[in-house]
Structure 1
Amino acid sequence: MMISTWRKRRAARLAGKQRLESEMGDIEVTIPNHFRCPISLDLMKDPVTMSSGITYDRESIEKWIDAGHVTCPITNKVFRSLDPIPNHTIRKMIQDWCVANRSYGIERIPTPRIPVSSEEALEIHSKIETACKQGDRIGCQNLAAKIKALAKESERNKRCLEATGTAGVLSYAFEEFSKASFDENVAVLEEILSSLTVLLPHDKATTYLASDASMDCMVWFLKSEDLSTRRNAVLVLKELVPLDYRKVDMLSEIEGATEALFKLIKAPICPAATKASLLVIYHMVTPSSSSPTNAKIVSKFVDLGLVSLLLEMLVDAERSLCEKAMGVLDGICDCDQGREEAYNQALTIPVLVRKIHRASDLAMKFSVSILFKLCMNEKRENGGVLVEAIQRNAFEKLLVLLQVGCDGRTKEMATRLLTLLNAYRNRVDCIDSADFKDVKKHF
Structure 2
Amino acid sequence: MPGSFELEPLDVGLIQIPYYFRCPISLELMRDPVTVSTGQTYDRTSIESWVATGNTTCPVTRAPLSDFTFIPNHTLRRLIQEWCVANRAYGVQRIPTPKQPADPVTVRTLLNQAGSGASSVHSRLNALRRLRGLARDSDKNKAVISTTRAREILLSIVFCDVRSDVTELNLEALAIVSMFSLSESECLFVAADLEKVSYLVSLLFHNSIDVRVNSAALIEIVIAGTRSPDIRSEIGKVDGIFYGVIGILKYPLSYPRALKIGIKTLFALCLVKQHRHNAVVAGAVEALIDRLPDFEKCDAERALATVELLCRIQSGCAAFAEHALTVPLLVKIILKISDRATEYAAGALLSLCSESEQCQRDAVAAGVLTQLLLLVQSECTERAKRKAQMLLKLLRDSWPDDSIGNSDDFGCSDVVPF
Q: Aligned in 2, Cα 1:123/1:135: closer, same or farther, shift over 3 Å?
A: closer
The Cα of 1:193 is off from its aligned counterpart by 0.8
Report whether the alignment pairs 1:409 with 2:406.
no
The secondary structure found in structure 2 opposite 1:389 is helix
Hey, what's the Cα distance between the residues in 1 that align with 2:29 and 2:327?
60
Residue matched to 1:240: 222
Residue matched to 1:174: 158
Asked if the contact 2:9–2:16 (Cα under 8 Å) also holds between the matched residues in 1, the reply is no
The Cα of 1:199 is off from its aligned counterpart by 3.0
Please report the TM-score for the alignment, with normalisation by the length of structure 2. 0.75
- Superimposed CA distance per residue, residues 349-392 of structure 1 (whole angstroms, 9 cap, x where no aligned partner): 211111111221111111111111112233xxxx3222332233
The Cα of 1:203 is off from its aligned counterpart by 4.4
- Superimposed CA distance per residue, residues 338-357 of structure 1 (whole angstroms, 9 cap, x where no aligned partner): 11112212222211111111
Asked if the contact 1:148–1:198 (Cα under 8 Å) also holds between the matched residues in 2, the reply is no
The structure with the largest alpha-carbon Rg is 1
Hey, what's the Cα distance between the residues in 1 that align with 2:77 and 2:296?
47
Residue matched to 1:396: 370
Asked if the contact 2:328–2:366 (Cα under 8 Å) also holds between the matched residues in 1, the reply is yes
Hey, what's the Cα distance between the residues in 2 that align with 1:38 and 1:402?
49
Structure 2: state its 5+ residue gaps: 81-85, 87-95, 405-418
Hey, what's the Cα distance between the residues in 2 that align with 1:116 and 1:263?
36
Hey, what's the Cα distance between the residues in 2 that align with 1:220 and 1:315?
29
Report whether the alignment pairs 1:277 with 2:262.
yes
**Identity, % of aligned pairs?**
24
Residue matched to 1:309: 287
Hey, what's the Cα distance between the residues in 2 that align with 1:233 and 1:144?
17
- Superimposed CA distance per residue, residues 23-42 of structure 1 (whole angstroms, 9 cap, x where no aligned partner): xxxxxxxxxx8x99877999
Hey, what's the Cα distance between the residues in 2 that align with 1:113 and 1:371?
49
- Let me know the Cα RMSD of the aligned residues: 4.1
Residue matched to 1:335: 313
Asked if the contact 1:193–1:232 (Cα under 8 Å) also holds between the matched residues in 2, the reply is yes
Asked if the contact 1:167–1:204 (Cα under 8 Å) also holds between the matched residues in 2, the reply is no
- Superimposed CA distance per residue, residues 29-73 of structure 1 (whole angstroms, 9 cap, x where no aligned partner): xxxx8x998779999998755333445565664355356643213
Residue matched to 2:408: none
Report whether the alignment pairs 1:82 with 2:56.
no
The Cα of 1:141 is off from its aligned counterpart by 3.2
Hey, what's the Cα distance between the residues in 2 that align with 1:260 and 1:300?
13
Asked if the contact 1:37–1:57 (Cα under 8 Å) also holds between the matched residues in 2, the reply is yes
Report whether the alignment pairs 1:216 with 2:198.
yes
Asked if the contact 2:114–2:124 (Cα under 8 Å) also holds between the matched residues in 1, the reply is yes
Report whether the alignment pairs 1:350 with 2:334.
no
Match among 362, 373, 385 for residue 359 of structure 2: 385
Report whether the alignment pairs 1:188 with 2:169.
yes
Asked if the contact 2:343–2:387 (Cα under 8 Å) also holds between the matched residues in 1, the reply is no
Asked if the contact 1:261–1:281 (Cα under 8 Å) also holds between the matched residues in 2, the reply is yes
Counterpart amino acid of residue 126 in structure 2: N
Hey, what's the Cα distance between the residues in 1 that align with 2:387 and 2:17?
65
Hey, what's the Cα distance between the residues in 1 that align with 2:43 and 2:366?
60
The secondary structure found in structure 2 opposite 1:404 is coil
